[in-house]
Structure 1
Amino acid sequence: MHFDRLRENLLDFFNKGQPARQRRRLALPDSPRGAAAEPLAQALLDWSVLEPQVLFERLGSRREGLSEAEAGERLGAGPNEIDQQRALPWWAHLWFCYCNPFNLLLSVLALIACLTGDLPATLLIGVMVGVSTLLRFVQEKRSNDAAERLKAMVGNTATVFRADEAESGLTRRREVPIRQLVAGDVLWLSAGDMVPADVRLLSTKDLFVSQAALTGESLPVEKFAQVRDARQDNPLERDSLCFMGTTVVSGSALALVVGTGARTFFGALAARTCIGGRPSTAFQAGINKVSWLLIRLMLAMAPVVLLLNGYTKGDWLQAALFALAVAVGLTPEMLPLIVTSTLAKGAVALSRRKVIVKRLDAIQNFGAMHILCTDKTGTLTQDRIVLERHTDVYGMVDDRVLQLAFLNSYHQTGLKNLLDVAVLEHAELRQALRVDSRYHKVDEIPFDFARRRMSVVLGERDDHHLLICKGALEEVLEVCATVRHQACAEPLTGARLEHIRAVAEALNRDGLRVVAVATRTLPPSRETYGLDDEQGLCLDGFIAFLDPPKETTAPALRALAANGVAVKVLTGDNERVSLKVCRDVGLPVEGVLLGPKLDAYGDAELGELAERTTLFAKLTPAHKERLVRVLRARGHVVGFLGDGINDAPALRGADIGISVDSAVDIAKEAADLILLEKSLMVLEEGVVEGRRTFANLLKYIRMATSANFGNALSVLAASAFLPFLPMLPLQLLLQNLLYDLAQIAIPFDGVDAELLRRPQQWNPEGLGRFMLCFGPLSSLFDIATFLVLWFVFEANTPAQQGLFQSGWFVEGLLSQLLVVHMIRTRRIPFLQSRAAWPVLAATLGIGALAVFLAQGALAHSFRMQALPADYWPWLALILVGYMVMVQGLKGWFVRRFGWA
């Protein structure tokens, strides 16, 4: 990566969103032209050039390593851990679960009820708030504990040298937990190790390190004990430094720890991820809008009820209690409980599909998501390179080229990357070529990223040596003079060169990574070879590699598309390989945008372009975060699947961050969901579960808002002409409690298939429209009940108010229970769409209980009286009329505004 680009990306990681004083502390040098470096970067630059003896003196260490006592003393300054988002203390987590607009409002109402002596209302509200808070707390704690257990399953250690004081300074290699490393420790690094801290290299042997976790670069870099270019002001470019979070690809090294924990580059990147709060997700924004809509309704209606009843009845205390009961009735106090229990049920269902839910809110976002941004490698593909073709320079299959490539990969001792592994998987060649006896290695010219090629020199017979070179096409062509055509070597003319490039281009268009293979026959006169011997080579042909797509990818993409989720591929790979993979998995590519071009667009223009683009290639981590942000700014619910430190800012910026159990800890901290299986099929199942969860949430909110608004209108109408309260505060609270109990079963309800086929999003405006349509309709039938009770049964005096209140109590509750079945589906209830048995049982049971309370022995306790027999036919007529009208209005509403 070019230095300026790398520096800009790291500055973005370090500085974005941090307070100014923290920016100064974590900044990199402002330019590579000698500006004063900030402390962290400057200290690393200083360590990189010091002689080993000076290093040991500065750090109070020695080549034999620290003693156990010295290491233990230094560990007191803090373990070698990154300051990730630490788990909240239980009391802080409990407070977080409690704090939402409805819980706070209900707590205020409970306090008012307590001060006015309304014990039933106080207990009712307190139970609702307590149960919803505790349920959320328990479920989220279980999920976070599961995520912590995942991390604890990996107990990483490092190989350190410890000076044993008891044995006269004898040095021993020991494996110690990474968190116990301290500055001054001497480490041994070898292939496959994760670099556990920021280190200065003391000695190396063919050391290649992957710095992708910090820079996003896919190719490893070679490291040395001495700096080759001291003018380089970026610590990541210094040859003698390695950094926490990077991995050793090949070779070995002796290294001195110069920085641990937060005092590392990795720690600074982690700080960028953890500082500041997460942006509000679509779910949180939707819940807040709904909450404030209902709170405004309650604040507007309750004072009107108080004034109207106080003025017309003259009993202001009773009017205040009734207004408080109306306020409680208008507030869907079950919303926190229903939301939490529905999400908890979804979390349990997702856990069976190998998905750990870290934040309950993420489940609804899963269902609302209609853009999924994902990497290519390991998600669409198997993350396993295979050798797809071996051809001569004319594109014809040539086994000799494969044999030469095998010999090169088998005998080299330097950087063995995934391409070499793919070649060596052809184990049958080992016996066919008898590499252990027929060939012997003479020398090796190691790979470096300036030449982008490497060579081995083999002796097969005593009469010649064979130099086999493989590497990037253009770099190999630079040292070729001839090309092999069948058994002959022909001059590398301009026409042949053009044809060779055309063949390689055709392979690239097929999504293959092309590596050139060339040879040179040399006399067996010496045993040492160097770069000057890579001249006058004969180009033998190509080996081409492919990361094959997963078998499950194509059906998963089809399922996501059928469910209305657009998949966008965000990758650091080149566009040709990425296009090939997209074609193979059946992902239609409507546009391609390369990372270097993103910077030329403003956010508004990029957002519009991103909507029309499927593939984004050659991206840096900053590009990924920006793409997520601009898509969200245009109203999309965006999911992001990533597993690296580079992905953490994008994971936090998305509506739903998705990672895997094998991801780095920072990515898992930033994610909302952790997949135990990196598969798009798991995501598709999660999307459906999220939509099921949202649909059930929406049912409750529609029922609660329309029924409560209708009740409020009915109360206003009754209060205006009745000489007594239409319902006593205790009766109103009891009716509200029974209705809430009936709705507890909603999380277990089924969902119509059409609601699972497309994303479901919050629409507060649509909710308000729904409430204004269906609320007044229920009020019309409440008023019809009032008229029947007033004129037919003559419940029109304070002496007869018990009959009036009992009649409206039963009708109001039964009509609300019918609403559960009428509004849970756009279809005809009971016939085209039947509720799940828990919902049927709950509504039937609560309905029977309501009739018993009005008619049975407990009626007097609630100041109600038995209803006459001839009231029930009137009630049945009202309820049937209400069902018919609701179904008709529902059909009009669906045609006019839709249902989702």
Structure 2
Amino acid sequence: PGDIIKLSAGDMIPADIRILSCKDLFVVQSSLTGESLPVEKYDTIVDNTNMPVLEYPNLCFLGTSVESGSATAIVIATGFNTYLGAMAQTITERKPTSSFEKGIQSFTWLMIRFMLIMVPLVFLINGFTKGSWHEAFFFALAVAVGLTPEMLPMIVTVCLSKGAIAMSKKKVIIKQLHSIQNLGAMDILCTDKTGTLTVDHVLLEKHCDVVREEDEEVLRMAYLNSYFQTGLRNVLDRAILDHKEEVHIPAQVSEHIKVDEIPFDFSRKIMSVVVEKPDGGHQLITKGAPEEIFARCTHFELDGEIHPIEPVLIEDLKDEYKRLSADGFRVLALAYKNFAPKSAYTKEDENGMVLKGYLAFLDPPKETAAPAIKALQTHGVSIKVLTGDNELVTRKICQEVGLDIHHIMLGDEVEQLNDEELVKRAEETTIFARLSPAHKQRIVQVLRNNGHTVGFLGDGINDSPALREADVGISVDTAADIAKESADVILLEKSLMVLEEGVLEGRKVFANILKYIRMGASSNFGNMFSVLGASVFVPYLPMLPIQILTNNLLYDFSQTPIPTDDVDHEQIAKPRQWTIENLARFILCIGPISSIFDYTTYLVMLYVFDCWNPARASLFQTGWFVESLLTQTLIIHIIRTNRIPFIQSRASVPLLSMTALIMAIGIYLPYSPFASALGFTQLPSLYWPLLVLTLICYMGLTHLTKQWILKKGWI
């Protein structure tokens, strides 16, 4: 800092600098703002401290470049102290905890609290009532293992991996597995405009006369002007030259000979070429900023006739160009003047011209943007556009992609609001324009803090802080390296339609993970009451430790095909987020139902089969083992769908097959060679019809309770 540097056209700016003096200095800041057109800079001292830092006219930043002009400046920041360096540092910071991670953590702590309450109680009750602290300890330990959802890491990982593999086939790279679920839970997608909604290539959209009617002659003259100029062609010139196949322009170019050129400079903001026409006359063709063209024109042409520009008509003519600007177009005016042949032309000849018409340019939206946005909105995802570009251009693009615009908010407004005020405005706003990278990051942050799962789609250096802040950052393979490094998901194709597929895949993943969590949590909660009750009333261990572990092992195996399960359409129609309160309500309603039927089994075993006698303990333990295993194995088919199971919605073949296999093993074990080793004994024939009745009643009551929970909105 403190070094004095000199800049000229083509230079990369090596640090954050303040301009001391300059001449016609234009700087490209697209890497920081996303705005593709150069910005003019001055050496003026600015008093307005509320202005966004990137809009200060006397400051230039590391990572930008000089388009034209020259300057002398003083270095004010280098390295990580620069604006770009501060953005780069966000990549090294720990990414905020996502909604998925928060949900898993909440569930884990819920299960830990269950165990911390349950295990000591079981140990103490069995120790005091049975008199054997050694047996009580091992029984409590087995209960702890049984209450642990040890399959959760496997189920989550397989579900996420399956989703990632499915997305890779659609040319989407998932960098972080948990981002699959975040993609499904996303209810707000914030997107940059340039390069994401648009093709990032400026096109000539309109070439029209002074009343905005299409005019091929305007295109012909503009083409001659851009074709014959020898200066540096900008994106607008290239857009004009892309129209060479229209109206036989190449043939007409060959009929003209370049005579002279009056180069562009930033004080005039126009440029002219002089060509010799086929009839030998000379014609000066000028294009540039409409305000400058208007000041040099005395006539206008309309329908082949030339009319003087009367004072009363000036505002009408300007209104036509302003309407194009208001529609989001970058507008140039075109004028001409005919001369008798002469050898040289100067800037003074650019007066008394005839206004011919306008050229309107736009970075058009991608073909897939409109259907992708419509599809996302249909699936409950709100779209907000966050861009460094101006609000007029952004509004035009949003209208073209079918995005309903409610409110527009500018960067300087964001700067002036505190977080509480900003989140209220952000909820209602569709377009955020003239934003700095810090503004984008802050908007994403306040929306996340307000309970939303936020995705951000961007591809520029200026998007990296917001990509890092979002629950799921989405970029494309052509993005800047820093943007790809900050993103969680990378699209290998420019089509945005894969976003919809990603959202649906994420919701399928979430639905299957939630099936296991609901089932495991409610089952464990019910088992807690069942074990406590049995420990108090039964004069021996209600189930041997090895039986608990065998039950737990078989039950876990029955759940392994959950990642392959089908998902009902209504479960992926809208975003679904982790709500530990709703999960707790579900557990409190469904869990005790299994306890009701466990207690029913206790009564049957104690009173029907006379198991009060400790000598018949193995019969009681076997009866409860089989009932417990079958009810836990079948319950997934009730919980997995909001419809009537087996009739309106069936599980996947692997899940159905595994359920049948585990139930068969559970029924076979009391009669198997392993029965004595596991402490089992054969069950009386009357047990089986009573068990079938128990299972039917259990599934029926659980389904009715689930429907009630559904009406309450707790699912």
Normalised by the length of structure 2, the TM-score is 0.90
- The reply on whether 1:624 has 2:440 as its aligned counterpart is yes
Which residue does 1:874 correspond to in 2?
690
Asked if the contact 1:440/1:460 (under 8 Å) is kept, the reply is no
Asked if the contact 1:443/1:527 (under 8 Å) is kept, the reply is no
| Alpha-carbon distance between aligned partners in 1 of 2:54 and 2:538, rounded to the nearest angstrom | 82
| Alpha-carbon distance between aligned partners in 1 of 2:180 and 2:283, rounded to the nearest angstrom | 61
| Alpha-carbon distance between aligned partners in 2 of 1:731 and 1:721, rounded to the nearest angstrom | 19
Distance of aligned partners of 1:451 and 1:218 in 2 relative to their CA distance in 1, 3 Å threshold? farther
Asked if the contact 1:374/1:641 (under 8 Å) is kept, the reply is yes
Please tell me the residue identity of whatever aligns with 2:319. A
Asked if the contact 1:250/1:414 (under 8 Å) is kept, the reply is no
- The reply on whether 1:219 has 2:177 as its aligned counterpart is no
Ranges in structure 2 where 5+ consecutive residues have no aligned partner: 18-23, 48-52
1:456, distance to aligned residue in structure 2 (A):
2.7
| Alpha-carbon distance between aligned partners in 2 of 1:447 and 1:359, rounded to the nearest angstrom | 50
Which residue does 2:458 correspond to in 1?
642
2:253 aligned to which of 435, 443, 452: 435
- The reply on whether 1:357 has 2:315 as its aligned counterpart is no
Say which SS state the counterpart of residue 356 (structure 1) adopts. strand
Asked if the contact 1:408/1:470 (under 8 Å) is kept, the reply is yes
Which residue does 1:677 correspond to in 2?
493
1:655 aligned to which of 453, 471, 477: 471
The residue correspondences of 1:685-704 to structure 2 (distance < 5 A) are 685-704=501-520
1:471 aligned to which of 288, 291, 301: 288
1:789, distance to aligned residue in structure 2 (A):
0.9
Asked if the contact 2:629/2:666 (under 8 Å) is kept, the reply is yes
Deviations 1:188-212 (A, max 9, x none): x98xxx9697799xxxxx9986331
Asked if the contact 2:255/2:277 (under 8 Å) is kept, the reply is no
Asked if the contact 1:710/1:775 (under 8 Å) is kept, the reply is yes
2:134 aligned to which of 296, 317, 329: 317
For the aligned residue pairs, the C-alpha RMSD in angstroms reads 3.3
Which residue does 1:295 correspond to in 2?
112
- The reply on whether 1:48 has 2:6 as its aligned counterpart is yes
| Alpha-carbon distance between aligned partners in 1 of 2:456 and 2:264, rounded to the nearest angstrom | 39
2:321 aligned to which of 474, 494, 504: 504
| Alpha-carbon distance between aligned partners in 2 of 1:435 and 1:241, rounded to the nearest angstrom | 41
- The reply on whether 1:770 has 2:601 as its aligned counterpart is no
Q: Which moved more, 1:413-422 or 1:493-502?
A: 413-422
| Alpha-carbon distance between aligned partners in 2 of 1:685 and 1:207, rounded to the nearest angstrom | 46
The residue correspondences of 1:3-42 to structure 2 (distance < 5 A) are 39=1, 42=2
Which residue does 2:50 correspond to in 1?
none
| Alpha-carbon distance between aligned partners in 2 of 1:266 and 1:616, rounded to the nearest angstrom | 21
1:609, distance to aligned residue in structure 2 (A):
1.6
Asked if the contact 1:309/1:719 (under 8 Å) is kept, the reply is yes
Asked if the contact 2:220/2:249 (under 8 Å) is kept, the reply is no
| Alpha-carbon distance between aligned partners in 2 of 1:221 and 1:509, rounded to the nearest angstrom | 20
1:279, distance to aligned residue in structure 2 (A):
1.2
Deviations 1:65-88 (A, max 9, x none): xxxxxxxxxxxxxxxxxxxxxxxx
Please tell me the residue identity of whatever aligns with 2:262. E
Which residue does 1:571 correspond to in 2?
387
1:263, distance to aligned residue in structure 2 (A):
7.4
Say which SS state the counterpart of residue 493 (structure 2) adopts. coil
| Alpha-carbon distance between aligned partners in 1 of 2:100 and 2:542, rounded to the nearest angstrom | 38
- The reply on whether 1:402 has 2:360 as its aligned counterpart is no
Asked if the contact 2:475/2:483 (under 8 Å) is kept, the reply is yes
Asked if the contact 2:257/2:277 (under 8 Å) is kept, the reply is yes
Asked if the contact 1:48/1:241 (under 8 Å) is kept, the reply is no
Please tell me the residue identity of whatever aligns with 2:483. A
Asked if the contact 2:408/2:431 (under 8 Å) is kept, the reply is yes
Please tell me the residue identity of whatever aligns with 1:590. H
Say which SS state the counterpart of residue 674 (structure 1) adopts. strand
- The reply on whether 1:843 has 2:659 as its aligned counterpart is yes
Asked if the contact 1:198/1:264 (under 8 Å) is kept, the reply is no
Which residue does 2:611 correspond to in 1?
795
| Alpha-carbon distance between aligned partners in 2 of 1:711 and 1:870, rounded to the nearest angstrom | 25
Identity %: 51
How many residue pairs were aligned?
A: 699
The residue correspondences of 1:743-892 to structure 2 (distance < 5 A) are 743-892=559-708
Which residue does 1:33 correspond to in 2?
none
Please tell me the residue identity of whatever aligns with 1:401. V
Please tell me the residue identity of whatever aligns with 2:502. G
Distance of aligned partners of 1:232 and 1:435 in 2 relative to their CA distance in 1, 3 Å threshold? farther
Asked if the contact 1:739/1:816 (under 8 Å) is kept, the reply is yes
1:222, distance to aligned residue in structure 2 (A):
8.4
Say which SS state the counterpart of residue 860 (structure 1) adopts. coil
Please tell me the residue identity of whatever aligns with 1:802. S
1:477, distance to aligned residue in structure 2 (A):
1.9
Please tell me the residue identity of whatever aligns with 2:167. L
Deviations 1:254-312 (A, max 9, x none): xxxx9xx9679586144332242111111111111111111111111111111111111
- The reply on whether 1:371 has 2:188 as its aligned counterpart is yes
| Alpha-carbon distance between aligned partners in 1 of 2:204 and 2:279, rounded to the nearest angstrom | 32
Asked if the contact 2:334/2:357 (under 8 Å) is kept, the reply is yes
2:157 aligned to which of 318, 340, 343: 340
Please tell me the residue identity of whatever aligns with 1:589. I
| Alpha-carbon distance between aligned partners in 2 of 1:243 and 1:698, rounded to the nearest angstrom | 47
Asked if the contact 1:825/1:833 (under 8 Å) is kept, the reply is yes
Say which SS state the counterpart of residue 523 (structure 2) adopts. helix
| Alpha-carbon distance between aligned partners in 2 of 1:736 and 1:454, rounded to the nearest angstrom | 81
Deviations 1:445-465 (A, max 9, x none): 1243x5433333334479764
Asked if the contact 1:414/1:447 (under 8 Å) is kept, the reply is no
| Alpha-carbon distance between aligned partners in 1 of 2:14 and 2:670, rounded to the nearest angstrom | 73
Normalised by the length of structure 1, the TM-score is 0.72
Please tell me the residue identity of whatever aligns with 1:776. P
Asked if the contact 2:618/2:679 (under 8 Å) is kept, the reply is yes
The residue correspondences of 1:91-240 to structure 2 (distance < 5 A) are 210-220=28-38
Say which SS state the counterpart of residue 576 (structure 2) adopts. coil
Distance of aligned partners of 1:751 and 1:585 in 2 relative to their CA distance in 1, 3 Å threshold? same
1:602, distance to aligned residue in structure 2 (A):
2.4
Asked if the contact 2:457/2:475 (under 8 Å) is kept, the reply is yes
